[in-house]
Amino acid sequence: MSLAKSPWIIHVNCNSCNGCDIEVVACLTPLYDAERFGVLNIGTPKQADIMVVTGSVNYKNVNVLKNIYNQIPDPKVVLAVGACASTGGIFHDCYNVIGGVDQVIPVDAYVPGCCPKPEAILDGVVAALSILENKKKGNIKGKEVPLKGNEVPSNA
């Protein structure tokens, strides 16, 4: 019950152009006021429930992303915000880009758009809440993601 009433988010900027980040931060401003749902933008992954990822994954930051994911205690959900985080977006065929966030860690909800409106992001957070509840009820644990496995390909 109360799990959905106090979702604390951690915002991870993977490889974003900063467009999505500004929209995520806009959600916390007085105009949209995400805190009325109990949302706090918490700094440390150890106290977070929802991981909000913006931007596509590349070889440089893939381990940072996995590391932060592993540090969030269960139950946890991952929210991919923006086209880049969902699929790779306009950077999808860059030489250094692995792709969307779901190539590396399990993603529970996607917010499309480039960049998505703050309303859409808030919608995504609210959608993630019911997933969070279900994970708690079903006792579904996030698997630990191994840090090895996404090294720079030799032909790059």
Partner 1 sequence: MNEILKILLVLIGAPILGCLIAGLDRKITSRLQHRVGPPLLQPYYDVSKLLQKDNIVVNKYQNVYVVIYVIFVILSLLMLVFEADMLMIIFVYTIASVALIVGGMSTGSPYARIGSSREIMAILSYEPILVLYAVAIYMLTGTFKLSALDKTSTPLLMYIPLIFIAMLVVMNIKFKKSPFDYSTSHHAHQELVKGMFTEYSGPGMAGIEIGHFYEYVFLLSLMFVFWKVNIIMGLILAVISFLFVIIMDNITARVYWQWMVKTSWTVLLVISIVNIMYLYIFNIKIM
**Positions that interact with ligand SF4 (CB under 6 A):** 16-17, 19-20, 54-55, 82-84, 89-90, 114-115
**Can you tell me which residue has the tokens 């019911």?**
130
**Token pair of 90, please?**
């306009």
Q: Which is nearer to ligand SF4, 107 or 132 (CB)?
A: 107
**Token pair of 91, please?**
């950077």
Task: Report the partner that residue 148 touches, choosing among partner 1, ligand SF4, none (CB closer than 5 to 8 A by kind).
Answer: none
Minimum distance from CB of 94 to ligand SF4 (Å)?
A: 11
Q: Which is nearer to ligand SF4, 75 or 89 (CB)?
A: 89
**DSSP-derived secondary structure letter, 83:** H
Task: Report the partner that residue 20 touches, choosing among ligand SF4, partner 1, none (CB closer than 5 to 8 A by kind).
Answer: ligand SF4
Q: Of residues 129-148, which lie at the interface with partner 1 (CB under 8 A)?
A: 136
Q: Which is nearer to ligand SF4, 98 or 132 (CB)?
A: 98
Minimum distance from CB of 1 to partner 1 (Å)?
A: 8
Residues 55 and 44: their CA atoms lie apart, in Å, by: 20
Count of CB atoms situated within 10 Å of the CB of 58: 20
**Token pair of 89, please?**
């977006």
Q: Which is nearer to ligand SF4, 86 or 150 (CB)?
A: 86
Q: What's the gap between Cα 69 and its chain centre?
A: 9
Under rule CB under 8 A, how many of the chain's residues touch partner 1?
A: 24
Residues 155 and 62: their CA atoms lie apart, in Å, by: 18
Instruction: Tell me the residue ranges of DSSP E strands in 3-149.
Output: 8-13, 40-41, 50-54, 57-58, 77-81, 97-99, 109-111
**Contact set with partner 1 (CB under 8 A):** 2-3, 5-6, 8, 30, 33, 35-38, 40-44, 46-47, 49, 71, 73-75, 136
